[in-house]
Amino acid sequence: MILIVDDQEANIYSLKKLLESQNFMVDTALSGEEALKKVLKNDYALIILDVQMPGIDGFEVAETLSGFNKTKDVPIIFLSAVNKDKKFITKGYASGGIDYVTKPIDPDILMLKVKTFSRLYEQTLALNDIQQVLRSEIEERKKVQQELKEQVDNLYSTLESLPQLAFTANGSGDIEFVNSKWLSYADANMLPATHTDDLDIRTVWADAIHAEVPMELEVRIKELKSEVFRFHLLRIIPIKEKNNQLKWVGTFTDIDDQKQMEKKKDEFLSIASHELKTPLTSIKAYAQLLERTLNTTVDDPAAKYINRVQSQVSKLNALITDLLDISKIENGKLKITKKNFDFENLLSNAIDIIYQTHDNNTMVIERQGDRIADAFLGDEIRIEQVLINYLTNAIKYAPNTDRIIVHTEKNDHQVKVSVTDFGIGIPEHKQKNIFGKFYRVEESSVRFQGLGIGLYICSEIIKQHNGTVGIQSELGQGSTFYFTLPLN
């Protein structure tokens, strides 16, 4: 909008008609006072201001407007029919005008000036808006940078307070920060030297960087002033910042004492299991001889006692066998002998063994799913051991139900065997540890006996067949334990 300020209505009328003919919006004021009021309330792209007016003249109006932030950039064209001398023209420019036009006015020239100044004002406003946006962006970036700096400082302070070796690295794996403990093991920009028999950290980390996934690795490292290597657990996790830039944070945790304790425990289990095996075999043999010697009837109390002895010996023998298997697993000596066998026959045998070794006459084991007719390559005895363990657990942890489902599923790549019970179930937050060594769910450990090693052995057997194990369970609704085996 353009404001015309003149104390003569005839002048205002002619100028207004001229500007409106060119599609300009026009507002008018008959005095300097009225013009100042309107300028403070409204926004104008251009002011055409008469110099000679009663009260506040044009020069005073221009000087006043130049003192306000809102109006100091509004272009002013002075019009004068009387003050044509150089000193008045100079005063007009000095008071804030950008042009000085004397009457009589050439309409074409005036319109060219109006269009030019109006366009310049619009461009000025656009530039001001852009500057404001840029200022806002700069302030926002400063704020983000400050927040990022505070986060980095907090991270560095946290890493410095850790008892482990800690570091950060950029997206390419170049080390950027290490805590003080690190310097006892390596230079600030280098990874600690590892034992020659261990995996190379950089090689394993490169794969993690490519996939942008966390990594864990057990390695042996040593202090710079020592020759003794100690086991450390290396954990490195990716962190994405607000700008999606990838960083890595890692720690080396000393687990050597824990590894030594585990080694001693495994040695004890191995020795104890072997030492127990010999007297246990003798006890079993003497119980069988005693049974034959007494030649008792079924209802004879002595026969019942002998059966109970043999039952307990069998349980103890199974426990010792599991402990021996754990020892073999820990030492990498669990033997897997693969050969072709009939998978359907394995399933039938395992189910028959369960029927024969459990006294629940009402229990029904349902076989569902695909028939596996082709020969399968694997260790038949060990896979049967896994299935029997699953079935035994299903009976053990579902004492009030008489139904178990064995479901098989086959595709072009693998065989999946699932055992479903309708027992107590397992809480979701405890399912991830169920295949861990010596892990027992607290809710069941009080009611049911066991050491928590059976499922661990099962998972290791399946892993050595390049398969997977898993669980699906809902508390109070039962559980489904499954394992998969690749066909190739």
Could you please report the per-residue DSSP string of 448-469?
S---S-HHHHHHHHHHTTT-EE
**Nearest Cα to 249, choosing from 258, 259, 240, 260?**
240
- Distance CA(290)–CA(300), nearest Å, equals 14
Q: Helices 58-65 and 86-94, interaxial angle, to 10°?
A: 20
- Distance CA(87)–CA(470), nearest Å, equals 97
**Nearest Cα to 424, choosing from 444, 402, 438, 450?**
444
Cβ atoms of residues 39 and 65 within 8 Å: yes
- pLDDT (tens digit, 0 to 9) for every residue of the chain, 488 residues total? 888 888 888 888 888 888 888 888 888 888 888 888 888 888 888 888 888 888 888 888 888 888 787 777 788 888 876 666 677 667 777 777 777 777 777 888 878 888 888 888 788 878 888 988 899 899 988 888 888 788 778 878 888 888 899 999 998 999 999 999 999 999 988 999 999 999 999 999 999 999 999 999 999 999 999 999 999 999 999 988 766 778 899 999 999 998 888 778 777 766 776 677 778 778 778 787 887 777 766 677 777 777 778 777 776 777 777 677 766 666 666 778 889 999 999 999 999 888 887 776 678 999 999 998 888 899 898 899 899 989 988 888 887 788 899 999 998 889 999 999 998 888 888 888 888 876 666 554 444 455 667 888 899 889 989 999 999 988 888 899 999 999 87
Cβ atoms of residues 193 and 230 within 8 Å: no
Which CA distances in Å does 332 have to 267, 327, 328, 460? 13, 9, 6, 11
| Cβ neighbourhood burial of 459 (10 Å; 0-12, 13-18, 19+) | buried
DSSP for residue 410 = E
Helix (H/G/I), strand (E/B), else coil: 408: strand
pLDDT of residue 409: 93
DSSP for residue 399 = T
Which residue's structure tokens are 């990716």?
238
| Cβ neighbourhood burial of 255 (10 Å; 0-12, 13-18, 19+) | middle
Helix (H/G/I), strand (E/B), else coil: 137: helix
Q: Residue 19 pairs with which residues in a beta bridge?
A: none
Rg (CA), the chain: 45
State the CB neighbour count (10 A cutoff) for residue 93: 14
End-to-end, the C-alpha distance of the chain in Å comes to: 82
pLDDT of residue 448: 47
Sequence letter at residue 476: G
Q: Residue 233 pairs with which residues in a beta bridge?
A: 218, 253
